[in-house]
Amino acid sequence: MKKSLFKAFSMALLASAAVLTSCSSDDGNNNGPSSTFVLDANNFKGTINDGEVVLKTGVTYKLSGKLVVANGAKLTIEPGAIIEATARPDNSTEDIRYIAVAQGGQIFVNGTATNPVVMTSSVKSPGKWGGLVICGKAPINKGATASAEVSDLTYGGTLANDNSGSIRYLRIEYSGYAYNSEKEFNGLSLFGVGSGTTIEYVQVHEGSDDGIEFFGGTVNTKYLISTSNEDDSFDWTEGWNGTNENWYGKLGLGRGNRGIEADNNSNNHLATPIANPNIKNLTLIGLGAQGSESQALKLRVGTKGKFDNLVLSNFVTGFDVQHNESVGYVADGTLKATNVRFDNITTKSTGKNTAGETVNVAAIYTESTTATGAGNGTATPSWAQGWTVGL
């Protein structure tokens, strides 16, 4: 009788444990439902259609083609995991290496300051793989929805607080593969990404196009670094609105253009939602006269924006404002930078209206000799130390 009671009690405990396991947290920090995706660390590509795939600490995953996280699926990456794009045959456009998160999919990058997640290439030079693309359901001004230029995935919608996951302590290296002169990956491309998504402590290093670009959406960011990318450090278009703190952009390799290139919509400068981010604590460092378009901030085609506590260093031009709409936003104060410190800037501001006529846009900025930018002037900020490269 005692044995029967003990056996029944044991079976009850096992059943309880099974129930607890099936109800485990679904926040991306624990293993979720099993996925039908077959994970091969030496041949990492394909589509994650369901469940959760977890990349483990200390393992290098060889990215041999595109990886897509589909609607309802999750990709979770533990601290210290490495994704390394393998080399492609010369002149081949097959099996382009990139990672894309589709609408409804989620990515959880759980790096730390001492053990970041790294997405890189086996060939250590710019443009050797695509980078990371995330497509969300937040508003854009290109249409109700649109198709992302480098993954053909749908993005945009009406869900401002859409959640595509969480990214913390991620380094992206040697990205920017170009299909042609009009179609090129950035390091991190955010298409209609919503404010429910976390983007913090991300560095994009030595890419062949922009470091980080926003295509509409409402995502907020903190602690972004763009170093030695060959076009602009940061870029936005299609009506992005977000609140941001602590950006550090530094051009290098003897190539590169602007610190920031900002648009609203090139086809309709008044398209809504109008691009209007807030950025606080910003350092941008250029190449002096070496840059082909040496502007710290190029603000055009109807973008608005509020900036505070800026350090701008080593550009020919500080603020370059173009087109009637953006020039008008300078006049009404909706395109404004306060507490700006200029260092080795030849021309602090320049402006042209849509007709190409020179206009005075000096009202765009106020100066401060004590501005600290991203935290330490032109020097590496303390929050960037330990998990970055090239600084």
pLDDT at 33: 64
Give the β-pairing of 183-184 and 178-180: antiparallel
pLDDT at 289: 87
Higher pLDDT among residues 21 and 227, named by residue: 227
Average pLDDT estimate for 93-109: 93
On the question of pLDDT at 29 being above 70, the answer is: no
The token pair that represents 287 in the structure block: 């190449």
pLDDT at 4: 42
Residue 92: pLDDT band with limits 50, 70, 90: low
pLDDT at 318: 98
Give domain status of residue 361, yes or no.
Answer: no
DSSP labels for 63-99? EEEEEEE-TT-EEEE-TT-EEEEPPPPTT--TT--EE
pLDDT at 8: 41
The model carries a pTM of: 0.91
The token pair that represents 90 in the structure block: 């010369």
On the question of pLDDT at 228 being above 50, the answer is: yes
Average pLDDT estimate for 169-188: 90
Average pLDDT estimate for 242-252: 97
pLDDT at 6: 40
Alpha-carbon gap, residue 187 to 173, rounded angstroms = 8
Alpha-carbon gap, residue 373 to 216, rounded angstroms = 25
pLDDT at 28: 36
pLDDT at 178: 85
- Tell me the pLDDT tens digit for each residue of 50-66: 999 999 999 999 999 99
The domain of 143 spans 44-304
Give domain status of residue 318, yes or no.
Answer: no
DSSP labels for 276-310? --EEEEEEEE--GGGSTT-EEEEE-TT--EEEEEE
Q: What is the mean pLDDT of the chain?
A: 91
Give domain status of residue 138, yes or no.
Answer: yes
pLDDT at 93: 63
Span of 133-137, 199-203, 286-290, 327-331 with lowest mean pLDDT: 286-290
Give domain status of residue 351, yes or no.
Answer: no
Closest residue by Cα to residue 46 from 84, 97, 86, 85: 97
On the question of pLDDT at 201 being above 80, the answer is: yes
Alpha-carbon gap, residue 53 to 36, rounded angstroms = 9
- Tell me the pLDDT tens digit for each residue of 113-171: 999 999 999 999 999 999 999 999 999 999 999 999 889 999 999 999 999 999 999 99
In this structure, which amino acid lies at residue 139? P
- Tell me the pLDDT tens digit for each residue of 269-282: 999 999 999 999 99
pLDDT at 26: 37
Give domain status of residue 16, yes or no.
Answer: no
Span of 178-187, 218-227, 311-320, 351-360 with lowest mean pLDDT: 178-187
Average pLDDT estimate for 88-101: 82
349 sits in which H/E element: strand 347-352
Scanning the structure block, which residue is given the tokens 């044995």?
A: 3
Alpha-carbon gap, residue 49 to 172, rounded angstroms = 24
54: Cα separation from own chain's centroid: 21
Cβ neighbour number for residue 144 with a 10 Å cutoff = 9
Q: Looking at the 3D structure of the chain, how many domains does it have?
A: 1
Residue 13: pLDDT band with limits 50, 70, 90: very low
DSSP state of 249: E
Give domain status of residue 382, yes or no.
Answer: no
Give domain status of residue 369, yes or no.
Answer: no
On the question of pLDDT at 384 being above 80, the answer is: yes
Residue 256: pLDDT band with limits 50, 70, 90: confident
46: Cα separation from own chain's centroid: 22
Q: Are 331 and 325 in contact (CB under 8 A)?
A: no
Higher pLDDT among residues 300 and 28, named by residue: 300
Peptide bond into 126 cis (omega under 30): no
